[in-house]
C-alpha cells in the first residue's frame, strides 16, 4: 500500500495528483527547481525537496536527483505526471530498482512506444492502421510533417510544403528534438491539413482488463500543440467510434500495457483512422474524460499500481466536457510566449479544482499558478486548464466561453480572447473540426475592435481620481472649473484622452456628455450611458490598468500628460521579441539575406522561435552566440537594407 508519493513534476499536474492523494490519505512530496521554490505545488505538499538550478536539464530531468529526493523524504512511490521524465523507460526502471513503486506502465511498454517509428512498426504488426510516408518523398507526397521520434508536445515538428524546404526542416526538427528529448531522430509522415486529431483514453490493470474510456477530439491546435479538447469526440459515426476503440485496445494489449495511457489517431476526411502514437502516461486533457465518466483517473492509476483490478464494468459516458488551455502567449504575434508577473487569475463560478465535482454540469479549474506569480522562460507557457461539462456539447461550449470571457487575468497577455472566439465560432459549434482550424479561421478569431475602450478609459480616469482624492475625483470644485485630463494607450496601440469634471449637477465629460457617474472608488466605477448601467472592476499594477466588465476586458497603459520624445531604433535592428536562449544561428556577418529568412532561433518556454530578417540586405552585425541568454529587447543583429 502506498503511504507517501513523490510527484516528479511541477505546476498544475503536481497539484492535480496531490489533490487525489489528499482524498486517499497519501502523504505528498514535491520536488522543485529554484524558480519554483514558492510555487503552489511546493506550498501544498507535505514535504518539498529542492533540485538546485533553474533549467529542466538540471532539475526535473535529473532522474538521479529525483530518486534521491524520494528516498530522502521517505516516499514509497513516484508519479511522473506528464512531460519531463514521464515517458523515459530508464527512469521507470531506476525508480523500481530503488525499491519504489512506479505509477505508470511497465518500462518495457514505455520503451516499445518511446520511438514513434518503432511504435508504428509494432502497431502495424498488431493490425492497427498506421500512417506512413515514402522513404524517398516526391512532390506528389507533399505536404509532409516532420516529427521527432522520441517525443511530442509540438516540439521537433515541422510542416513541409516544398521539397526544397525539407533539408532545413529536418535539420531544425533534429536540433529541437535533441534539446527537448535527448534524441535527434526524426521521421516524416503525410500531413493531412483537414484531418482530425482524435484519441482514446485507455486504462488497463494487471489482470487483462483493458478499458477504452471513450474518445476525445483534440483537433484545435497551434504549433502542433493542443489548445481545446473535448469528450466525447463530436460527429463520429458508430463504426468509426467502434474502430477507434478497438484499435486502441489492440494497441494496449499488443505491448502488455497497464495503467493510464492514450492512443492517438489521425482521422482522415474520408473516415479512415491512422495510428499516430501512444502516450504512456496521463494526458494533459484527462479532465474532460473524468468529467464525462465520473472517474478519478489518478486514483485509478494508484490503485492499479497497488495491484487492484479494474471493475468488470466500465462506466458509461454521460454528457459532454470541453477543456481550454490558457497560455501566456500572444496569438497576434506568432504565439510569442509572455513572461513577467501574473498579478491575478480569477474565474467566476468555479465549482471545483482538480475534480469534476457534484452534479451533471459545472466548471473546473486546473491551474499551476496563483497570482501574483512570476512566469519565466524555463517552462511551458500554460497557466491553467478551464473545463466545462454539461448534458450537451452546446451547453458546455457556452458555459466555457462565458467563464473565460468573465475571467479576470491581469499582468500577462494570454490567448483568452482567441479561446472565446473559437468556442463561439459557427464552425466549431457545428463540429467542423480539423487540425488546421485555427489557421483557417485566423482572421475571424483575431481580436475585433473594442468599441467600449473609450468608456473604459473614462472609468479608469475616474477610478484614478477616486484613489487620489477620496470620494470625489480630483479637480472637484463647488463651482465649474477646468476639466481634468488623463491619457491612456490601449493594447491595440490606440490612444485615448479623457477630459472630465464634476460639478454640482454631476459628471460632465467632454467626450461622453451622455454619461452619468453613479459611483466611483479605486476598484469599481459604475457609469450610466444611454440608459444602460455598467460597472467596471479596476485593478492597477504600476502604469497598467486592467478593467473587467460584462463588455469584456480592457488593458490600458497610463501615459504621462506630456509625451516624452520618441526613441528611434535603426530600422534594420533585430531586437529579441522575448526573453530566451539563443540555440542556433544560421548566418554570419557579411552575408546577404532576404526578407523573412531565418537568421537565428530563440528557445523560450520549451519552444523554439525564429528571428527572421526584416528586409533584403546585408547582415552587418551579429551580437549574440549560441547558448547566450537574452532579455526582451536585446539587440541581436543588424541588417543593412539593400
The residue among 154, 44, 7 whose CA lies nearest residue 606 is 154
Task: State the cell numbers at 283.
Answer: 494526458
For the chain, the first-to-last Cα distance in angstroms comes to: 71
What's the pLDDT band for 140 if we cut at 50, 70, 90? Answer: confident
Whether 459 and 535 have beta carbons less than 8 Å apart is answered as no
- Give the rounded distance of the alpha carbon of 119 from its chain centre: 27
- Pairing mode, strands 617-622 and 607-612: unpaired
Question: What pLDDT sits at residue 551?
Answer: 87
* Percentage of the residues of the chain whose pLDDT score is greater than 70: 94
Convert 369-390 to b/e letters by CB count within 10 Å (16 or more is b).
bebebebbbbbbbbbbbbbbbb
Whole-number pLDDT of residue 405: 95
Residue with the bigger pLDDT between 293 and 601: it is: 293
What's the pLDDT at 502? 65
What cell does 198 get? 482524435
What is the distance between the alpha carbons of residues 162 and 143, in angstroms, rounded to a whole number? 7
Report the percentage of the chain scoring pLDDT > 90. Answer: 65
Q: What is the rounded CA–CA span in Å between residue 15 and residue 636?
A: 38
Report yes or no: 29 and 79 within 8 Å, Cβ to Cβ: no
Give the confidence band of 164 by pLDDT, cuts at 50, 70, 90: confident
Band (pLDDT 50/70/90 cuts) for residue 581 is: confident
- Per-residue confidence (pLDDT) for residue 433, from 0 to 100: 97
At 22-42, the pLDDT tens digits run: 999 999 999 999 999 999 999
How far apart are the C-alpha atoms of 624 and 602, rounded to whole Å?
A: 11
pLDDT digits (tens, 9 = 90+) for 107-126: 999 999 988 888 888 999 98
Residue that has been written with the C-alpha cell 475602450 in this structure: 453
Mean pLDDT value across residues 237-246 = 96
Q: Does residue 637 carry a pLDDT above 90?
A: yes
**Maximum CA pair distance of the chain?**
89
136: pLDDT strictly greater than 60:
yes
* Cβ contact 141:190 at 8 Å: yes
Mean pLDDT to the nearest integer, 530-542: 94
Question: What is the tens place of the pLDDT at every residue in 426-476?
Answer: 999 999 999 999 999 999 998 877 888 999 999 999 999 888 765 454 444
- Cβ–Cβ < 8 Å for 41, 67: no
Half-sphere CA count of 484, side-chain side, radius 13 A? 20
Whether the pLDDT of residue 297 is over 80: the answer is yes
Name the average pLDDT for the chain. 90
What integer pLDDT is reported at residue 475 of this predicted model? 46
DSSP 157: -
Q: Which of 4-18, 299-313, 380-394, 600-614 has the lowest mean pLDDT?
A: 600-614
Amino acid 424: pLDDT: 98
Q: Tell me the pLDDT tens digit for each residue of 329-378.
A: 999 988 889 999 999 999 988 988 999 877 889 999 999 998 799 998 88
Q: Which residue has the higher pLDDT, 172 or 400?
A: 400
Give the span between the Cα atoms of 9 and 52, in whole angstroms: 15
Q: Is the pLDDT of residue 180 over 90?
A: no
Query: Residue 533 corresponds to which cell in the numbers above?
Result: 448601467
Provide the residue count of the chain: 642
All 3 cell numbers of residue 511? 467626450
Neighbours of 360 (CB within 10 A): 13
Q: Is it true that the peptide bond before 232 is cis, omega within 30 degrees of 0?
A: yes
- Cα separation, 607 vs 609, whole angstroms: 7
What burial class does residue 455 get, using C-beta atoms within 10 Å of its C-beta: 0-12 exposed, 13-18 middle, 19+ buried? buried
Q: Give the containing element (helix H, strand E) for 174.
A: helix 166-181
Task: Classify burial at 547, counting beta carbons within 10 Å of its beta carbon; exposed 0-12, middle 13-18, buried 19 or more.
Answer: buried
Least confident of 187-191, 352-356, 488-492, 550-554: 187-191
CA 634, distance to chain mean position in Å, is 26
Per-residue cell: 271: 473516415
565 band by pLDDT with thresholds 50, 70 and 90: low
Distances (CA, A) of 140 to 161, 190, 193, 266: 11, 10, 15, 20
**Taking Cα atoms as reference points, which of 247, 313, 278, 226 lies closest to residue 87?**
278
By mean pLDDT, which of 220-224, 325-329, 604-608, 615-619 is the weakest? 604-608
Rg (C-alpha) for the chain, rounded Å, is 27
Q: Confidence class of residue 133 from pLDDT cuts 50, 70 and 90?
A: confident
Q: Which three cell numbers stand for residue 344?
A: 491575478
Residue 509 has pLDDT above 80, yes or no: no
CA–CA separation, 292 vs 360, rounded Å? 9
Q: Label residue 478 by pLDDT band (50, 70, 90).
A: very low
pTM score, whole prediction: 0.87
What strand order describes the sheet that includes 259-267? 273-279, 259-267, 196-204, 210-222, 225-231, 320-327, 382-390, 362-367, 352-353
Q: How far apart are CA 614 and CA 640, in angstroms?
A: 10
What's the rounded Cα separation, in Å, for the pair 509 and 513?
A: 5
DSSP E strands in 458-597: the ranges are: 484-490, 495-503, 506-509, 515-520, 524-529, 532-541, 544-548, 554-559, 573-575, 580-585, 592-593
Given this model, what pLDDT does residue 282 score?
97
Is the per-residue pLDDT at 284 higher than 90?
Answer: yes
Amino acid at each position: 500500500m502506498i503511504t507517501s508519493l513523490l510527484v516528479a513534476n511541477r505546476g498544475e499536474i503536481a497539484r492535480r495528483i496531490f489533490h487525489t492523494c489528499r482524498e486517499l490519505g497519501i502523504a505528498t512530496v514535491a520536488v522543485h527547481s529554484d524558480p519554483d521554490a514558492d510555487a503552489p505545488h511546493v506550498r501544498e505538499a507535505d514535504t518539498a525537496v529542492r533540485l538546485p538550478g533553474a533549467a529542466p536539464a538540471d532539475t526535473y530531468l535529473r532522474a538521479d536527483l529525483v530518486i534521491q529526493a524520494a528516498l530522502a523524504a521517505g516516499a514509497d512511490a513516484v508519479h511522473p505526471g506528464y512531460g519531463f521524465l514521464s515517458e523515459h523507460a530508464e527512469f521507470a526502471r531506476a525508480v523500481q530498482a530503488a525499491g519504489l513503486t512506479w505509477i505508470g506502465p511497465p518500462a518495457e511498454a514505455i520503451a516499445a512506444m518511446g520511438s514513434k517509428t518503432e511504435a508504428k512498426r509494432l502497431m502495424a504488426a498488431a493490425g492497427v492502421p498506421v500512417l506512413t510516408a515514402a522513404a524517398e518523398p516526391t512532390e506528389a507526397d507533399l505536404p509532409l510533417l516532420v516529427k521527432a521520434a522520441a517525443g511530442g508536445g509540438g516540439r521537433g515538428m515541422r510542416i513541409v510544403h516544398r521539397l526544397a524546404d525539407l533539408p532545413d526542416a529536418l535539420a531544425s526538427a533534429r536540433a529541437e528534438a535533441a534539446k527537448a528529448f535527448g534524441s535527434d531522430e526524426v521521421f516524416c509522415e503525410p500531413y493531412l491539413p483537414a484531418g482530425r486529431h482524435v484519441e482514446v483514453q485507455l486504462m488497463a490493470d494487471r489482470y487483462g482488463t483493458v478499458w477504452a474510456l471513450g474518445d476525445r477530439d483534440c483537433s484545435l491546435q497551434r504549433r502542433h500543440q493542443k489548445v481545446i479538447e473535448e469528450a466525447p469526440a463530436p460527429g463520429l459515426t458508430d463504426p468509426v467510434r467502434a474502430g477507434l476503440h478497438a484499435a486502441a485496445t489492440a494497441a494496449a494489449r499488443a505491448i502488455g500495457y497497464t495503467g493510464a495511457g492514450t492512443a492517438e489517431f489521425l482521422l482522415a476526411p474520408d473516415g479512415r483512422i491512422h495510428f499516430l502514437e501512444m502516450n504512456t502516461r496521463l494526458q494533459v486533457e484527462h479532465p474532460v474524460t473524468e468529467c464525462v465518466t465520473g472517474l478519478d483517473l489518478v486514483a485509478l492509476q494508484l490503485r492499479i499500481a497497488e495491484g487492484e483490478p479494474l471493475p468488470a464494468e466500465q462506466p458509461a459516458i454521460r454528457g459532454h466536457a470541453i477543456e481550454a488551455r490558457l497560455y501566456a502567449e500572444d496569438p497576434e504575434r506568432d504565439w510569442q510566449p509572455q513572461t513577467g508577473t501574473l498579478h491575478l487569475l480569477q474565474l467566476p463560478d468555479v465549482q471545483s479544482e482538480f475534480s469534476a465535482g457534484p452534479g451533471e454540469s459545472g466548471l473546473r479549474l486546473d491551474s499551476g499558478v496563483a497570482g501574483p506569480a512570476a512566469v519565466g522562460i524555463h517552462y511551458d507557457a500554460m497557466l491553467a486548464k478551464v473545463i466545462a461539462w454539461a448534458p450537451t456539447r452546446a451547453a458546455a461550449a457556452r458555459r466555457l466561453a462565458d467563464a473565460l470571457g468573465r475571467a479576470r487575468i491581469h499582468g500577462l497577455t494570454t490567448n483568452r480572447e482567441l479561446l472565446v472566439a473559437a468556442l463561439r465560432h459557427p464552425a466549431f459549434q457545428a463540429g467542423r473540426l480539423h487540425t488546421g482550424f485555427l489557421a483557417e479561421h485566423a482572421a475571424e478569431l483575431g481580436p475585433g475592435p473594442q468599441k467600449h475602450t473609450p468608456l473604459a478609459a473614462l472609468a479608469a480616469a475616474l477610478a484614478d481620481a477616486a484613489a487620489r482624492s477620496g470620494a470625489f475625483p480630483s479637480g472637484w470644485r463647488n463651482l465649474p472649473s477646468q476639466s481634468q485630463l488623463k491619457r491612456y494607450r490601449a493594447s491595440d496601440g490606440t490612444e485615448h484622452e479623457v477630459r472630465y469634471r464634476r460639478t454640482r449637477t454631476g459628471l460632465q465629460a467632454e467626450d461622453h456628455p451622455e454619461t452619468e457617474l453613479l459611483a466611483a472608488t479605486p476598484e469599481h466605477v459604475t457609469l450610466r450611458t444611454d440608459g444602460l448601467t455598467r460597472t467596471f472592476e479596476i485593478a492597477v499594477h504600476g502604469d497598467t490598468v486592467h478593467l473587467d466588465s460584462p463588455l469584456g476586458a480592457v488593458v490600458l497603459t497610463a501615459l504621462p500628460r506630456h509625451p516624452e520624445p520618441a526613441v528611434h531604433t535603426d530600422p534594420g535592428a533585430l531586437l529579441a521579441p522575448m526573453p530566451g536562449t539563443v540555440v542556433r544561428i544560421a548566418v554570419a556577418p557579411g552575408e546577404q539575406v532576404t526578407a523573412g529568412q531565418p537568421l537565428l532561433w530563440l528557445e523560450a518556454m520549451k519552444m523554439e522561435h525564429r528571428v527572421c530578417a526584416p528586409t533584403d540586405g546585408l547582415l552587418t552585425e551579429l551580437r549574440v552566440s549560441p547558448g547566450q541568454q537574452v532579455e526582451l529587447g536585446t539587440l541581436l543583429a543588424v541588417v543593412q537594407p539593400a
